[in-house]
Amino acid sequence: MAIGLIGKKIGMTRVFLKDGTSVPVTVIEVKPNYITAVRTPEKNGYTAIQVGAFEDKEKHLTKPELGHLKKVGKVLRVLKEFRVDSVEGYQVGQELRLEEVFQPGELVDVVGKSKGRGFAGTMKRWDFGGFPKSHGHRYHRAVGSIGNRSDPGRVWKSKRMAGHWGNEPIRVQSLLVLDVVPEHNILLVKGSVPGPNGGIVFVEKSRIVSRRSQRLKLNRIKGMVEALVKGEVS
């Protein structure tokens, strides 16, 4: 496990490699993060680093939050803990910059909240097929039967039905870092990430990078990774 950073999704675009290959990317703005707390096994029972980002006004935070951030010397709106193998070398108030944590050619996981869709029916929420649309049929987009005979005589828990859709945490794993632009605090990752433009996202080292499937994936895109390391991105 390794430390991660807090960023903001700007939107999607594309970049070109030197050989003309077009690659869809998501632009993530990652301004300097700060360590707000260090969790140790002796005191907390586990090893982690709490990171904060997005400076704000004091009136937007509660007094307990301001007291917690007093040692940092900054008013930070978003906090997130990242499990690490060791806390050696980390201290409260330390600044974490984008280029120090992530490099082009490595794999990362991105966690964000999906777009909220409000109340949705089963066809939209769960991709149900619906009933026939022919003339004379009484039901079209209805759920249908949700029971299960007289035994157990109830609706099973987690039954797929109409309800609130979206606005839930989603993790997209093993995204390739295409480029890091430190002068603009910009991180470019291949593919899409959860959430709307302007949404908060958490970027961390990929949890599945050591799997055989991911090693094969890096071998398949070996040429692209080499181009990224050499800075051949426009």
Domains of the chain: 12-23+103-124+169-234 (2.40.30.10), 33-96 (3.30.160.810)
pLDDT truncated to tens, each residue of the chain (234 aa)?
778 999 999 999 998 877 788 889 999 999 999 999 999 999 999 999 999 999 999 999 999 999 999 999 899 999 999 999 888 889 998 999 999 999 888 899 999 999 999 999 999 999 999 999 999 888 899 998 888 788 888 999 999 999 999 999 999 999 999 889 999 999 999 999 999 999 999 999 998 888 898 888 888 777 666 666 566 666
Tell which residue, 110, 112, 129, 114, has the closest CA to residue 165.
Answer: 114
d(CA 149, CA 153): 6
Please provide residue 101's backbone torsions phi and psi, each rounded to the nearest 5 degrees: -105, -40
The size of the chain, in residues, is 234
Angle of the 222-229 helix axis to the 212-220 helix axis, nearest 10: 70
Can the peptide bond before residue 152 be classed as cis, meaning omega within 30 degrees of 0? yes
Provide the sign of the torsion angle of the four alpha carbons 190, 195, 197, 201, taken in this order.
Answer: negative
Q: In one letter, which amino acid is 229? A: V
Query: What pTM did the predictor assign?
Result: 0.86
Residue showing tokens 């990752």: 189
Tell which residue, 212, 205, 199, 233, has the closest CA to residue 29.
Answer: 199
DSSP letter, residue 191: S
Whether residue 209 contacts residue 193, with contact meaning beta carbons closer than 8 Å, is answered with no
